[in-house]
Each structure stands twice: as structure tokens, then as C-alpha cells.
Amino acid sequence: MRRKDLSEPALGALLLLPAALLLLAIVVYPIATLFWTSLHAVDNANPAAGEHWAGVENYTRAFDDGRFWHSTLQTAIYIAVTVPGALVVGLGLALLANRPFRVKWPVRLSLLLPWALPLVFAGLIFRWFFEYNTGVVNDVLGRLGAEPLQWLSSPTLATAAVCIAIVWKASSFMALMLLAGLQTIPKSLYEAAEVDGASKWQQFREITLPMLRPAIFVALIFRTITAIQTFDIPYAMTGGGPGDATETLAMYIHKTTLDFLDFGYGSALAALMFVFSMVATSGYLRYTRRSVGRGADA
């Protein structure tokens, strides 16, 4: 009875409450403590004394930490390679999958499987592909007359191998999103272009790409946000090796916190990553607010 008397905004607030509480407990509160912890340190000489206030010490330490810079650079390489890489491969797959197949499920499943596959599984499988003696990649290279490559023990090649695995794993999700975008393009546009004598390439450049722009943008942002956090695939493929060569910032944070148990420094690094990630997100939100805000009521 009383529930009916609630005004709509009050009922709405009530319904949003569980979500808000979960977000507060699992996201907002932890992020707040992250920044707080990042301003503390444990004295190695006297660990029993617990954490003490350290100010920005952890952040200045990061500034002088070669491994932090290296893992950040490595993450930047993964972003720079796999974001455009997955876009190009994903677009290719989407264009191929957009053919008029009579039976649709095999193609759909072959895009869904890489998406549903856990990242660690992909990492393990590609590690197996890139094994020196028994891997299929070197076998194919051999058949093509090339020398086998030490994929996982050279820093450059290991980075390349990790990038290939990430692009494979990420491109199918990209393709699914772009495919949905492709299917919203009216056929009549292509028919009109055909009548005007436009070539396939012109149609792609003048119709497909512009019409796909919103889908491409969303897909790129998703990929960028995910790429910043790259962890599972290099963890399973190289364990960060050889040495620390393929280690990402996320892996370094994990190691600092859980292996070295240095929560203060780990939190400072994680806070830095949070900032990197929010910079990318804010650009995205600015874009969606501009495009969504116009159509929405409130």
C-alpha cells in the first residue's frame, strides 16, 4: 500500500539503492582507500611497526623506478599495436562475416568462440603456437623456407608474439560490434552508388567507413580501456619474460602487491594506472554525452 504512495523519483531512488550500495562497497570505497594507501609505506627495517605516512614518497619512487617506466612503456606498446591491429583485423573479419551466408551459425560461432575464450586460455594456446621446437608457427615458417625464430626468448619477438595473441583475441569482439554497425547501413546507399558507377573501394571509403564511424569509435575506446589493463595474455604466454621484457604495468602492480607485499608502492602504481585510464575514459564520456544528450529527454 505504502509503496504506491511513493513518488516516482523516490521509488526510483529506492530501486537504485542496491546498485549504489554495491558500487560504493566494491568500487568507490576501495578506490578511496587505494589513494590513501598509496600515501603510506612500510619500513623494511621494521615491518612490524606497520604502515606509516609517507606523503608522495611512493610516487617519487615510481618516477625513479626503471621497471615502472619499462612496464608502462611496454603497456603503451601493446596499446599502440593492438588497438589499431585489432581494429584492422576486426574490420576485415566483420566485412567477411557480413556476406550473405545461407547458414549463419558457423561464422557467428567462429566470431563468438575467441570472444568467450578466457584470455588466459588464449595466452596458453598462443604460447604453445610460438614454442621454438614444437610450435606450429615455426613449423609453418620452416615450410615457407624461413628460419625458425626464438619467439619467446627474444624481448622483441616475445612482444610481437604477445601482440599477435592479443590482436587475435580482441579482434573477434571488435568484429561483432562492427558487424552490428555494418548491418544498420541501408542497402539502398550501395545500390545508389552502384548506379553512379562507384567502385567497391569508393563505396567502402564513401559509405561504409563514414557510416561505421560511431561503431568504430566505441570499439576503439573499449579496446583502449582493455589494452591499458593488459595482464592475462602476457602472464600466461611469457610470465613477463624474458627477464621483465614483456611485463605490463598491471603485471608489475600485481607483483609489487602480492609477491613483494609492498601495498603502499603497489597502490601508488595502481593509482597512476587509474589516472591513465580515467584520462582515456573522460574523452569517451565527452563523446557519448555529446551524441546521446541530444536525443535523450531529461
Please list every residue from 35 through 54 that binds other proteins, using CB under 8 A.
Answer: 37
Neighbours of 187 (CB within 10 A): 7
Q: Which stretch binds other proteins (CB under 8 A): 62-70, 155-163, 189-197, 225-233?
A: 225-233
Contacting residue, 61, 70, 77, 131, with other proteins by CB under 8 A: 131
Contacting residue, 77, 204, 225, 244, with other proteins by CB under 8 A: 225
Question: Smallest distance from the beta carbon of 43 to other proteins, in angstroms?
Answer: 18
The three-state secondary structure class of 118 is coil
**Contact between 108 and other proteins per CB under 8 A:** yes
Contacting residue, 162, 170, 219, 237, with other proteins by CB under 8 A: 219
Altogether, the residues listed in the chain come to a count of: 298
Per CB under 8 A, contacts with other proteins among 252-271 are 253-254, 257-258, 263, 266-267, 270-271
The three-state secondary structure class of 152 is coil
DSSP H helical segments within the chain, as ranges?
A: 2-5, 8-23, 29-38, 57-64, 66-97, 105-116, 119-129, 136-143, 155-183, 187-195, 200-203, 209-228, 232-237, 249-254, 263-293
- Do 218 and 224 form a contact (C-beta atoms < 8 A)? no
Of residues 68 and 263, the one with the C-beta less far from other proteins: 263
Question: Smallest distance from the beta carbon of 240 to other proteins, in angstroms?
Answer: 14
Could you identify the residue written with the cell 620452416? 142
Could you identify the residue written with the cell 594456446? 125
Per CB under 8 A, contacts with other proteins among 227-246 are 228-229, 231-232, 235-236
Contacting residue, 139, 204, 220, 255, with other proteins by CB under 8 A: 139
Of residues 154 and 229, the one with the C-beta less far from other proteins: 229
122: left (phi over 0), alpha (psi -120 to 50) or beta: alpha
Question: Smallest distance from the beta carbon of 136 to other proteins, in angstroms?
Answer: 6
**Contact between 295 and other proteins per CB under 8 A:** no
**Contact between 59 and other proteins per CB under 8 A:** no
Please tell me the distance from the alpha carbon of residue 195 to that of residue 206, in angstroms, as a whole number: 15
**Contact between 19 and other proteins per CB under 8 A:** yes
Could you identify the residue written with the cell 556476406? 99
Of residues 80 and 180, the one with the C-beta less far from other proteins: 180
Contacting residue, 59, 190, 274, 287, with other proteins by CB under 8 A: 274
* Number of residues counted as binding other proteins (CB under 8 A): 106
Of residues 6 and 192, the one with the C-beta less far from other proteins: 6
Of residues 74 and 172, the one with the C-beta less far from other proteins: 172
Contacting residue, 79, 83, 122, 162, with other proteins by CB under 8 A: 122
Q: Which residues of 51-65 are buried (b: 16+ CB within 10 A; e: fewer)?
A: eeebeebbbebbeeb
- Of 258, 28, 22, nearest in space to 267 by CA: 258
Could you identify the residue written with the cell 550473405? 100
Question: Smallest distance from the beta carbon of 277 to other proteins, in angstroms?
Answer: 4
Per CB under 8 A, contacts with other proteins among 143-202 are 168, 172-173, 176-177, 179-181
Question: Smallest distance from the beta carbon of 46 to other proteins, in angstroms?
Answer: 20
Q: For the chain, what is the radius of gyration of the CA atoms?
A: 24
Quick one: which H or E segment has residue 40? strand 40-42
